[in-house]
Structure 1
Amino acid sequence: MSDRPIRRAVYAGSFDPPTNGHLWMIREAQALFDELIVAIGVNPDKKATYSVTERETMLRTITAEFPNVRIGTFTNQFLVNYAKSLGAAYVVRGIRTASDYEYERAMRYINHDLQPNISTVLLMPPREFAEVSSTMVKGMVGPDNWQTIIRRYVPDAVYQKLIQDHQQKKM
């Protein structure tokens, strides 16, 4: 048994719904840390398409292959404070664009002011995920042939959920 402390990180987002870009981030981050908490950040001022329970279910399904990943939620608190409450020393953030970088750079300094012992780790997804967002995915649902187009942007469990929900809305 090692005396080395557990390297625990938090990767947070709305995951409304989870995309292949989110799954790439999870796959990469879980390989870097002993434990990764994928945390759904709940903003009471924003209307989510999927309930927290639905998002938790989708995340549990798509991360089932990673034994060191667990799913959590937090509401109305700063990410670094949530991370500290879990004993995490790292927060993981994705950067897709220059504007993401500028935002995350500023947040890193603010987070350091709040919790100086928590480090920010920035990951840059590959090109095929750089333009994928939950908002984009939701915006593509509905028009003719949307199922074929959206298939490449979300994990299978999320794809099945989108199909099911769309069919129920048509009834």
Structure 2
Amino acid sequence: MRALYPGSFDPVTEGHQHVLHRAARLFDEVVVCVMANPAKTGRYPIAERLERLRTAAAGLGNVTIDAHTGGLLVDYCRQARIDVVLRGVRDGHDLDHEMAMARMNRELAGIETLFIAADPDLAHISSTLVTALARQASRQ
């Protein structure tokens, strides 16, 4: 079975990598796809995010890296014949947001969503936090 692990991955974090490695053990194929998020301003170019994802997926023979920045996630799933979307969740706030998206994807296209709970040791990490720390370090 094929699964899609979508996200902005801006930047790729240890939490993303942990979810990816767990997902690779659960599915025959995992497609990691950089998606556009209109609510976020991209900090890193898509090409850089794709390269970082390729590095994160090194050694995982059943993982494919892709990008889809025009159109809905369900459109990509239909075109790629993917029936399951994977989402990592850190806390209740993430779950509340993701549940609404999961319901919409299921109603629009019959796409199911599998939630993977974040490793407790990594749950505090977000792309926003990683970027803020990198900016602070570069100023010093």
Q: In the alignment, what sits opposite 1:31?
A: 25
Aligned-residue CA RMSD (Å): 1.8
Comparing 40-49 with 22-31, greater Cα deviation is found at 40-49
Deviation track 1:121-160 (CA, whole Å, cap 9, x = no partner) reads: 00001111111111100001244xx4xxxxxxxxxxxxxx
Deviation track 1:26-66 (CA, whole Å, cap 9, x = no partner) reads: 00111111100000012467431211111111111121110
Contact 1:9 1:37 in 2 (8 A): yes
CA distance in 2, matches of 1:104, 1:14: 14
Q: Does 1:41 align with 2:49?
A: no
Q: Does 1:139 align with 2:103?
A: no
| Cα gap change, 1:46 to 1:95, in 2 (>3 Å) | closer
Contact 1:9 1:33 in 2 (8 A): yes
Secondary structure in 2 matching 1:129: coil
- Structure 2 unaligned blocks of 5 or more: none
Give the TM-score taking structure 1 as reference length. Answer: 0.76
- How far 1:75 moved relative to its partner? 1.4
Q: More strand by proportion, 1 or 2? A: 2
Give the TM-score taking structure 2 as reference length. Answer: 0.91
Choose from 102, 125, 129 the match for 2:118: 125
Q: In the alignment, what sits opposite 1:82?
A: 76
Contact 1:43 1:76 in 2 (8 A): no
CA distance in 1, matches of 2:102, 2:8: 19
| Number of residue pairs the alignment of both structures matches | 140
- Structure 1 unaligned blocks of 5 or more: 1-6, 147-165
Secondary structure in 1 matching 2:51: helix
CA distance in 1, matches of 2:62, 2:21: 11
What is the aligned-residue identity percentage?
36
Q: In the alignment, what sits opposite 2:104?
A: 110
